[in-house]
Amino acid sequence: MMLTEFEFGWLVGLLEGEGSFGYYGNTQSIQVRMTDEDTVHRVARDLEMLIGSNVVVRNIESNSDGISRQSIYYVQLYGERARIAMRSLVPFMGCRRRQQIWRGLNEYKPKKNVIDIMALLK
């Protein structure tokens, strides 16, 4: 199943306004946090179609001080799943978001699984 142009545009707009893009520790991250549960579920569904992988909606019911507040719903993507989404979204984002995404993508250094023969011969 593929996103329609309208669904993709809706996702881009929502992530432009409410999304968070970054590079934390040694991996990329995309996050959306909102009190609107139905909207976060729609973000999760659209991200699933975009990256071809399951996206889980989680929630926070109260603050650490024990005071009950409105639930916050969120989705997070890390690593390769975040990179796939970032590469798809970056051409359609505003200047500030493009900078955040490119900064995160450029920090990524894939691990070398192959021994560098030339380095061994030096």
Q: Closest by alpha carbon to 46, among 6, 79, 80, 16?
A: 6
One-letter amino acid identity for 86? M
Q: Closest by alpha carbon to 102, among 85, 88, 87, 81?
A: 87
User: Residue 117 — pLDDT band, cuts 50, 70, 90?
Assistant: very low
Residue range 2-55, pLDDT digits in tens: 899 999 999 999 999 999 998 887 889 999 999 999 999 999 999 999 999 999
**Greatest C-alpha distance within the chain:** 63
Cα torsion through 76, 79, 85, 88, rounded to 10 = 160
Has residue 116 got a pLDDT over 60?
Answer: no
- Predicted local confidence at residue 101, as pLDDT: 92
- Predicted local confidence at residue 16, as pLDDT: 96
Q: Could you tell me which CATH class the domain 5-121 is placed in?
A: alpha beta
Residue range 52-103, pLDDT digits in tens: 999 999 998 766 666 667 889 999 999 999 999 999 999 999 999 999 899 8
More confident residue, 53 or 109: 53
For the chain, domain boundaries = 5-121
